[in-house]
Chains A and B, each alone.
Chain A
Amino acid sequence: SQTIHQWPATLVQPVGSPLSLECTVEGTSNPNLYWYRQAAGRGLQLLFYSVGIGQISSEVPQNLSASRPQDRQFILSSKKLLLSDSGFYLCAWGAYNVLTFGAGSRLTVL
């Protein structure tokens, strides 16, 4: 069966520090992968999606970047975090019109 792992679950980082959130998928190959963010008091928003290794599309301009170094690995990064980057980040994979979400990573930037 397919599973999706996302870590870390919780992260507290100072402004200006780097960020790396990781998402891996098991039990499927060549999945479509997505990063979403839920800022405090706001709805979910798609940040990035990827259809394959090294292929990243960005939906909104921002301080973050994404990479897909392996077929089942999707990484969300920042070189210097801003206060506004705080929020709940969700990874998801999609295939055959089904979306499966990871457990999420809660980022607090202080």
Chain B
Amino acid sequence: KNEVEQSPQNLTAQEGEFITINCSYSVGISALHWLQQHPGGGIVSLFMLSSGKKKHGRLIATINIQEKHSSLHITASHPRDSAVYICAVPPSNAGGTSYGKLTFGQGTILTVHP
């Protein structure tokens, strides 16, 4: 079973700061999810990436398959970015139905102060 570790567990920042959240996993995978959980509990999928880097607005996700590590960056952070950020990985042999059989990190609680 894949072990997924996120760091830090809690992160407090001032508005405008550059944020980095890290995710490491123990078993090689084909792709990795970054999810955002709002204070009310709803979850939004931010990225699914299998190599390199993806960018969406102020969010950037990178992955290094060889090092089994991914990072989520937020540029020019804003109080509305306050949420729990979760990385999740499918089984190493993911395909078809097993793709949703995710192992989740414990989440990083981000608080951005104005």
Contact = CB atoms under 8 A, between A and B. Distances in A.
Q: Is the interface of B mostly helix, strand, loop or mixed?
A: mixed
A54 interface: no
A101 B42 contact: yes
A92 B48 CA distance: 15
B42 A92 contact: no
Nearest to B42: A103
Q: For this complex, into which size category does the number of interface residues on chain B fall?
A: 20 to 34
Interface of B: 31, 33, 35, 41-45, 48, 86, 88, 96-97, 99-102, 104-107
Contacts of A92: 100
Interface of A: 32, 34, 38, 42-46, 49, 51, 57, 59, 88, 90, 92, 94, 97-101, 103-104, 106
B94 to A, nearest CB: 8
Contacts of B31: 97
Among B43, B45, B107, the most chain A Cβ lie within 10 Å of the Cβ of: B43
B77 to A, nearest CB: 23
